[in-house]
């Protein structure tokens, strides 16, 4: 009996027994639901993009555009870079879904009766969105430039290292980095070589053609790749002229020329964030662009919350369409402003701040409209 008295004397349970739940419990209930849905949405988007990108790059590998061993690395790095865009939309959808559930189950009415205001909900949500924006800032300012540079280097290497082993038979394919068109009628059962192959040098002044019974890739100790053709015939020159030559061979080797690698370290997209502070016009534009996802992650959940608070009846899908339209309009305006900055149509001193300011003013207007709606409801109740 003594234990029961002590348990009921605790402030939390005494408050619950009086029918007045603590606001903190209700806040945590909402945030937990919003973050759970946001995480599930983020996982779903990641899985969707992974399958789409794997399908695209496996198609490139099958056509010989990218070496198969580079596909996984390229896709994973692209997913890391994409997180800065996936987190804001996931948090937006998670917030909207959580608030919609509170509305449909009349929990939001009970929360307001318990003394929870829309302003306090916005403040609590801002704490969570601040944490998410810090994660986005880490990706955008630190990981993304390195990942982008690594990605483009992998793509270059993947194109240079694409081999005949990755080429499907009965497809015309340009040998990576070279000027020769390659074709094969079939491939061996173990896919180690191709049968009945043909090569045409379309950049030669003479009509140079070579056919062989089989072809495969040979790699030397320094990693240089060579196509080895066996038991074939080469034709060079114009038929009917004295310089027309037909040559039979048992083995012929053709070096796969690598493309000249470009230096991307000075490109604004790959420059470390701190170095952008002391750069030129393009560096300043890139700095504004890297800051945009951080601000978007901080502000867009507020849009979802206030739109969901204005839900009436079962027309939640209309509110979702409106919210997503505003969200993507915001993102598109940022992209347009970035293009204008690059072309010097907008002074760099303004940056992307006008777009952020307009969006913030829209949020303030929506908040005022929300508060005015609650005051009207209270007035009707008092009458």
pLDDT in tens, 323-361: 899 999 999 999 998 888 888 877 777 888 999 999 999
Of 54-58, 77-81, 128-132, 150-154, give the lowest mean pLDDT range: 150-154
Task: Look at the alpha carbons of 106, 112, 116, 122 in this order and tell me if their dihedral is positive or negative.
Answer: positive
CA angle 92, 93, 95 (to 5 degrees): 65
Residues 353-366 have pLDDT tens digits of 999 999 999 999 88
Residue 240 region by backbone torsions, left for phi larger than 0, else alpha for psi between -120 and 50, else beta: left
Residues 123-148 have pLDDT tens digits of 889 988 999 999 999 999 988 888 88
* pLDDT (0 to 100) of residue 94: 93
Select, from the ranges 66-80, 166-180, 332-346, the one with the highest average predicted confidence (pLDDT).
Answer: 332-346
Instruction: List the chain domain ranges.
Output: 16-160+265-382, 167-255
C-alpha distances (whole Å) from 306 to each of 30, 39, 96, 147 are: 14, 21, 9, 36
Q: Where are the alpha helices (DSSP H) in the chain?
A: 2-8, 11-17, 23-62, 71-104, 107-113, 118-138, 144-160, 273-276, 281-309, 316-342, 353-382
Mean pLDDT of the chain: 78
Say what the pTM is: 0.69
Reduced to 3 states (helix: H, G, I; strand: E, B; else coil), residue 183 is strand
Whole-angstrom Cα distance, residue 353 to residue 358? 9
Residues 176-204 have pLDDT tens digits of 555 677 788 887 777 677 888 888 776 66
42 or 205: whose pLDDT is higher?
Answer: 42
């Amino acid at each position: 009996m003594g234990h029961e008295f002590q348990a009921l004397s605790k402030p939390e349970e005494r408050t619950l027994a009086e029918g007045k739940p603590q606001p903190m419990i209700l806040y945590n209930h909402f945030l937990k639901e919003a973050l759970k849905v946001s995480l599930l949405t983020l996982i779903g988007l990641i899985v969707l993009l992974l399958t789409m990108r794997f399908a695209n790059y496996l198609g490139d590998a099958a056509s010989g555009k990218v070496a198969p061993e580079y596909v996984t690395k390229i896709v994973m790095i692209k997913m890391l870079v994409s997180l800065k865009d996936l987190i804001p939309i996931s948090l937006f959808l998670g917030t909207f879904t959580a608030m919609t559930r509170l509305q449909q189950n009349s929990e939001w009415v009970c929360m307001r009766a318990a003394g929870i205001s829309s302003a306090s909900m916005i403040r609590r949500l801002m704490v969570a969105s601040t944490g998410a924006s810090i994660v986005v800032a880490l990706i955008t300012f630190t990981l993304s430039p390195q990942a982008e540079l690594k990605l483009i280097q992998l793509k270059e290497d993947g194109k240079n290292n694409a081999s005949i082993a990755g080429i499907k038979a009965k497809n015309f394919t340009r040998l990576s980095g070279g000027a020769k068109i390659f074709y094969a009628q079939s491939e061996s059962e173990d896919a180690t070589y191709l049968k009945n192959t043909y090569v045409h040098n379309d950049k030669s002044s003479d009509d140079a053609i070579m056919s062989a019974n089989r072809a495969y890739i040979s790699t030397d100790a320094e990693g240089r790749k060579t196509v080895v053709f066996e038991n074939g015939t080469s034709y060079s020159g114009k038929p009917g002229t004295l310089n027309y030559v037909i040559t039979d061979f048992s083995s012929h080797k053709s070096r796969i020329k690598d493309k000249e690698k470009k230096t991307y370290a000075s490109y604004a997209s790959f420059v470390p964030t701190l170095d952008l502070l002391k750069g030129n016009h393009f560096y300043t534009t890139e700095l504004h662009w890297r800051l945009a996802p951080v601000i978007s992650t901080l502000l867009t959940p507020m849009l979802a919350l206030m739109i969901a608070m204005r839900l009436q009846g079962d027309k939640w899908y209309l509110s979702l369409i409106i919210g997503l339209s505003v969200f993507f309009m915001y993102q598109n305006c940022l992209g347009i402003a970035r293009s204008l900055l690059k072309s010097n149509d907008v002074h760099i001193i303004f940056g992307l701040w006008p777009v952020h300011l307009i969006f913030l003013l829209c949020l303030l207007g929506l908040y005022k409209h929300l508060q005015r709606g609650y005051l009207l409801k209270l007035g009707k109740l008092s009458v």
